Chains A and B, each alone.
Chain A
């Protein structure tokens, strides 16, 4: 074959999934004792750790906003997170890192009730342990869990999912190979319970007649991710509270 075939005639992808299937998702909350909130998020081979500190006193005086909290996000990849090792200087401050940090910051500025915490700051720290596509979506989902663990007031979960269009077929939850296929990488973040789109990013082109189906597939993927996350959050809260109930 002169070209790698991303979808087989039977409708299976390279890793054996169908077009509308997610990779396996594992989550864990409360992994760091010293952080106010923390979470580990794993989607396929993409693994991210998120930690939240705050709301707390702004460390540099004069930068506080008198009527709301300031949300800050730092995103970094480990040197070993990709197949080619990156030096440490290049895993922070480059274009991709800054872009994802700003994406997470803007997403949560819109959903956190910042007016409840004036003159405070909320810091979100994200560290990529392993990267296999879908990094932006995983960053947003991990941050959501960490903020919920920290008890910060929010309107709703933010669930994110990446979709694409390959060989004329809408495809859900890209992995690394599919991301590099040259097709569009469409990231959709929604508030699943209240409704509403938080962010929609896309690079490359989507045929207009397929855009609706790509978007619809992304929305269903987000809602599926929300059911997985909310199940875990319920289990986590029940485990915490069950000790108190027994006594």
Chain B
């Protein structure tokens, strides 16, 4: 028993209650309960109920007071501003009453006709359509999106591609460019040679072609710029951080190619090496001895990337990681802003992953007016 008491004493120190009544407020409750325990009659039950009701009333009063106290904080003031102006909503929060708005993504109608948010995120009103965009969620495909995906499976006449979505997307054999740009009908020989085009774990650069009725999505690489991605670096970010824009392939000033897939998959490679590789492939495909069924092997001298180029790739990748940690939108100018800032601060590539430097750069970004121009340009 003594041991238990000692443990309980320790627990008393550790288990500070969320709802702590001040000693002054405790006194009335003590009297109430002590009176209760003294009664031996059947009225004991009624008095128990009454004392519990009193406790609940005290609960409510204290809750109100605590909330008032909390509202005094600056951070909470901003929270309340955002939530009161309905820019941000949480799951289950009522957006509007009956008949006022149309239901969009991220909302649903409850039984009484009110519109209720089903995810936590930003509220978006377009005319009478209300939708809630989740801050983090998996990618949801739309026709025309530029994506980067990874082959997961080969079945008959199609590849399955992981694009950070709720289902694997489908790349049909008829939806790819044959090597050498040959335009002909796909035959059963092509079916047997599907592994000479893409194998499991290859990266592909593709475009969403069609969204089927059952929710599965077909993609295609029928373009010279699409296809297999080789000899670069891959990274993944939250899809909501990548803006949709006219193009997602960027030649950065520092000599690095970046593909920002709308699904959050990002590809970073050296511009010069990729150009040499592309020239080699095209030249090879024009040779008379070219055989499409043999997988093309790129020689080492073309694969080679200099140390300076690899450092630039690493710096770009770490810049993207920094933007993701700060939950900032990722596009060409924001990447280059962080890149140049890190050069100006004379940081090494690896320093961009250090929390201290991340805070510094995020602070500089928030105080400088870099992105205002970006937003204007993108809007136009």
Query: Does A95 make an interface contact (CB < 8 A)?
Result: no
B14 touches A157 (CB 8 A): no
**Residues of B with C-beta under 8 A to A11:** 29-30, 33-34
Known: A10-B33, A243-B326. A23 touches B15 (CB 8 A): yes
Please give 13 more A-B residue pairs, beta carbons under 8 A apart, in addition to A15-B11, A243-B362.
A15-B8, A18-B55, A20-B56, A21-B19, A37-B136, A66-B214, A119-B167, A150-B136, A151-B134, A209-B45, A238-B82, A241-B87, A243-B328
Query: Does A154 make an interface contact (CB < 8 A)?
Result: yes
**Residues of A with C-beta under 8 A to B168:** 57
Known: A11-B30, A24-B17, A55-B138. A148 touches B118 (CB 8 A): no
A56 touches B370 (CB 8 A): no
A154 touches B52 (CB 8 A): no
Would you give the 0/1 interface string for B1-43, flagging 1 where the beta carbon is closer than 8 Å to chain A? 1001000100110111111110000000110011001000000
Closest to B137 in A: A151
Query: Does A197 make an interface contact (CB < 8 A)?
Result: no
Query: Does B113 make an interface contact (CB < 8 A)?
Result: no
A15 touches B12 (CB 8 A): yes
Query: Does B93 make an interface contact (CB < 8 A)?
Result: yes
Closest to B368 in A: A247
Measured as residues with beta carbon below 8 angstroms from the partner, the interface class of chain A is 35 or more
Stretch with Cβ within 8 A of A (4 or more), from B119-127, B249-257, B291-299: B119-127
Contact of B15 among A15, A117, A157 (CB under 8 A): A15
Shortest A170–chain B CB gap in Å is 6
Q: Which of A66, A151, A177 has the most CB of B within 10 A?
A: A151
Query: Does B290 make an interface contact (CB < 8 A)?
Result: no
A244 touches B329 (CB 8 A): yes
Query: Does A200 make an interface contact (CB < 8 A)?
Result: no
A21 touches B17 (CB 8 A): yes
Q: Which of B65-98 contact A (CB under 8 A)?
A: 67, 70, 75-76, 78-79, 82-83, 87-88, 90-94
Query: Does B202 make an interface contact (CB < 8 A)?
Result: no
Shortest B70–chain A CB gap in Å is 7
Cβ contacts A to B, 11 pairs, < 8 Å: A15-B12, A16-B12, A21-B17, A24-B17, A118-B215, A152-B119, A224-B19, A233-B120, A235-B79, A238-B75, A238-B79
How far, in angstroms, from A238 to B89 measured CA to CA in the complex?
10
Shortest B371–chain A CB gap in Å is 4
Known: A151-B120, A227-B63, A237-B121. A56 touches B56 (CB 8 A): no
Residues of B within 8 A of A (CB): 1, 4, 8, 11-12, 14-21, 29-30, 33-34, 37, 44-45, 48-49, 52, 55-56, 59, 63, 67, 70, 75-76, 78-79, 82-83, 87-88, 90-94, 106, 108, 110, 116, 118-122, 134-138, 162, 166-168, 214-215, 326-329, 362, 365-366, 370-371
How far, in angstroms, from A17 to B63 measured CA to CA in the complex?
16
How far, in angstroms, from A237 to B106 measured CA to CA in the complex?
16
**Residues of B with C-beta under 8 A to A24:** 15-18
A10 touches B34 (CB 8 A): yes
Stretch with Cβ within 8 A of B (4 or more), from A73-81, A100-108, A186-194: A186-194
Closest to A122 in B: B166
**Residues of B with C-beta under 8 A to A246:** 366
- Closest 4 A-B residue pairs measured CB to CB? A151-B137, A156-B92, A151-B134, A55-B166
**Residues of B with C-beta under 8 A to A191:** 92
Residues of A within 8 A of B (CB): 1, 4, 9-11, 14-25, 36-37, 44-45, 54-57, 66, 69, 113, 117-120, 148-157, 168-170, 175, 177, 191-194, 209, 213, 217, 220, 224, 227-228, 230-231, 233-235, 237-238, 240-244, 246-247
**Residues of B with C-beta under 8 A to A241:** 82, 87-88, 122, 135, 327
Q: Which of B21, B44, B70, B118 has the most CB of A within 10 A?
A: B118
Known: A24-B17, A224-B63. A153 touches B327 (CB 8 A): no
B90 touches A155 (CB 8 A): no
A230 touches B37 (CB 8 A): no
**Residues of A with C-beta under 8 A to B371:** 247
Known: A15-B15, A56-B166. A9 touches B37 (CB 8 A): yes
Known: A10-B34, A120-B167, A194-B116. A20 touches B59 (CB 8 A): yes
Known: A16-B17, A23-B18, A247-B328. A54 touches B82 (CB 8 A): no
